[in-house]
Structure 1
Amino acid sequence: MPEQLLPAPPVAAMAEALSGVPGVVGVLLGGSRARGTHRPDSDWDLGVYYRGAPDTAALAALAEEATGAPVEVAGPGGWGPWVNGGAWLTVGGARVDWILRDLDRVLRVWEDCAAGRYEVGIQPGHPLGFWSPVYPGEVALGRVLADPTGELAALRERTRVYPEPLRAALTGAAWEADFLVVNARKSAAAGDVLHAALCLSRAVGVLTQSLHAHHRVWCLNEKGALAAAEALPGTPPGFRARAEAVLAGLGDPVAAVEAAAGLVAEVRERLA
């Protein structure tokens, strides 16, 4: 592992301690820290993979020991149906996030993705919905920190190859962007800016998912998705700037819709 990707010693020790909590199977470093794209002030995202029900009281005690103050730990479902639960800690001035993941559910989602099935669920903090391929994508792009049973390492090895059935499904999902533009056009003509804005935002989000899938790249979040899609080979020139102009131009919703229609058409042509 390159030196710059190694977790800070307190985080490594924390991962080992977490793996000893009843119910916890292993710990994965995620986010920009795992990919080496972090800033000095970036959070440390620790995926805490559990089976059954983790001992939240033991997690809270461990968090208090690490921070020197009581920490609220949200159990399964406490943060919503997909992000699940966890805790926000500050350790030695660094922000460390624990994010609970039900390993058996992650495995089921992976099996679905491998077969070309995915879903988009409602989740606080994810305005375009939580796309289920995030689960295996997190494992594929993460760094295993603690894995007593070897299950996380085995799953990471399997998810490193992007499933062709999922690629076909998500690339094909670009049809929805067309449908959304049609609906936005009607709303814009009627002066319904809210509905037009929601349609166009989702259309852009769908395109970023399709572009990532087309290039067999896991897309984990709306944050940074436009810049990431822009960097993919074959993405239409100026994709990010054009998408941002669509969303920033909703003061004139009719013009924004037509700009979006052109962008959608160009992306779909390149995905064909």
Structure 2
Amino acid sequence: MSVAAATDAAGHEANLIAAMAPLIADLAEDGDGAVALAGSRGKGRSDTQSDYDFRVYAHAYRPNLKLTVQWNRFEMAMKEWQIEGVRMDGIWMRSYAGVERDLDAWLAGTAVPKTFEWTIWGYHLPTDLASQQIVNDPDGRLAGWKRQLATYPEPLRDALLQQYREILQYWAADYHYESKVDRRDLVFLIGITGKLANAILQFVFALNRAYYPGDGWNLPMAAELPLLPPDFVSRMASILEPGRDPDALRRQRAELIAMIADLEVLIAA
């Protein structure tokens, strides 16, 4: 992207945020919800395919919200931006109390991703809060959450390393995986490859005291971490795209097991 195009894109985003943020904040019962931009744009990893993931936080929201003038204004504005080609699909409304309850659990080492249809490996609250771009923060709560997460919590790191290490060790040694390769059980093998790739990435990010980035941009962000097995990104890419030759599935399993062994070397060190 040229400098001029990047400047135009930044201006377009700023105009969108300026237009939508007051309407989003007004959905709160007191009319002053905290607003943030999350997802790839919050992380600074957006491209032309990225949408706008707005969050709003409040103590409570207006009763019968979707029948209110405030909701109608928000929805109409969103549709107008969508007509212009902006990808924005609604708003996620969160309560301060609910977020703080969940955050306390994560900080204490209870890593329980929440399951939603729009995420493959679950919603990870620390990732969202640590990376989101704060737009409106009347009580300073969003900034406070970022401060809490500025240093990676050791209880969370220990819990994630244990959880995903157990998964990786189990499947590296389990004969069912080998037998499924011999049978060319493709549905199983697609599933186990995704499961193990996710476990490896979760392990690597926790090892480096970096928040798992979510479903997108995993390998590019992993490439920036200091503690990695040799040739990590290229090896992961070859695992995920093993080819279609007769030995591809057997080679894929062998490479996964080798990667798991290299992770053991890293954690031992």
Q: TM-score band (shorter)?
A: 0.7 to 0.9
| Match of residue 74 from structure 2 | 63
CA contact (8 A) 2:34 2:142 kept: yes
Distance 1:140 1:91 in 2: 31
Q: How many angstroms does 1:165 deviate by?
A: 0.7
User: 2:88 maps to what in 1?
Assistant: 96
Q: 1:84 is matched with which residue?
A: none
Correspondence for 1:114 = 107
1:67 Cα deviation after fit: 4.2
* Cα drift, residue 146 of structure 1: 1.3
Query: What is the root-mean-square deviation of aligned Cα atoms in Å?
Result: 2.7
Q: Is the 8 A contact 1:188 1:253 kept in 2?
A: yes
Look up the SS of the partner of 1:110 in the other structure: helix
Q: Partners in 2 of 1:229 and 1:99 — Cα distance?
A: 27
Q: Structure 1 residues 250 and 268 mapped into 2: Cα distance closer, same or farther (>3 Å)?
A: farther
Residues in 1 aligned to 2:46 and 2:79: alpha-carbon distance in whole angstroms: 26
- Pair 1:260-2:250 in alignment: no
1:137 and 1:159 in contact (8 A); partners too:
no
Aligned length: 248
SS at match of 2:88: strand
Q: Residue 217 of structure 2: which of 224, 232, 235 is its match?
A: 224
Please tell me whether the aligned partners of residues 40 and 216 of structure 2 are also in contact (alpha carbons under 8 angstroms).
no
Q: Which residue of 2 aligns with 1:19?
A: 25
Residues 63-102 of structure 1: per-residue CA shift (max 9 Å, x gap): 3331456xxxxxxxxxxxxxxxxxxx62643223433334
2:267 to 253, 266, 271: 271
Letter in 2 for 1:258: A
Structure 1 or 2, whichever has the larger Rg, is 2
Question: Hey, what does 2:38 align to over in structure 1?
Answer: 30
Aligned to 1:241: 234
> How do 1:84-163 and structure 2 match up within 5 A?
90=82, 92-97=84-89, 98-127=91-120, 129-131=121-123, 134-163=124-153
Question: 1:217-257 CA distances to partner (integer Å, 9 max, x unpaired)?
Answer: 11231221122112211212322221222222274322211
TM-score w.r.t. structure 1 length?
A: 0.79
Which residue of 19, 42, 60 maps to 2:50?
A: 42
Post-superposition CA distance 1:174-228 (Å, at most 9, x none)? 2212223434223223332211221121111111111111212112312211221
Identical-residue share of aligned pairs (%): 23
Structure 1, unaligned runs of 5 or more: 70-88
Q: Secondary structure at the match of 2:94?
A: strand
Give the distance between the partners of 2:139 and 2:177, measured in 1 at CA: 50
Provide Cα deviations, 1:81-132, integer angstroms capped at 9, x if missing partner: xxxxxxxx626432234333343322122111111111244432333x205x
Change (3 A) 1:217 1:20: same
Say whether the 8 Å CA contact 2:113–2:125 is kept in structure 1: no
Contact 1:41 1:94 in 2 (8 A): no
Query: Hey, which of these two has a bigger chunk of helix by percent?
Result: 2
Q: Could you say if the C-alpha distance between residues 249 and 221 of structure 1 is closer, same or farther in structure 2, counting changes exceeding 3 Å?
A: same
Equivalent AA in structure 1 for residue 177 of structure 2: A
Letter in 2 for 1:104: A
TM-score relative to the length of structure 2: 0.80
CA shift in 2, pair 1:175/1:226, >3 Å: farther
Aligned CA distance change for structure 1 residues 150 and 263 (closer, same or farther; 3 Å)? same
Q: Could you tell me which of 148, 166, 186 is aligned with 1:175?
A: 166
Inter-partner Cα distance in structure 2 for 1:171 and 1:215: 11
What residue number does 1:166 align with? Answer: 156
Asked if the contact 1:137–1:219 (Cα under 8 Å) also holds between the matched residues in 2, the reply is yes
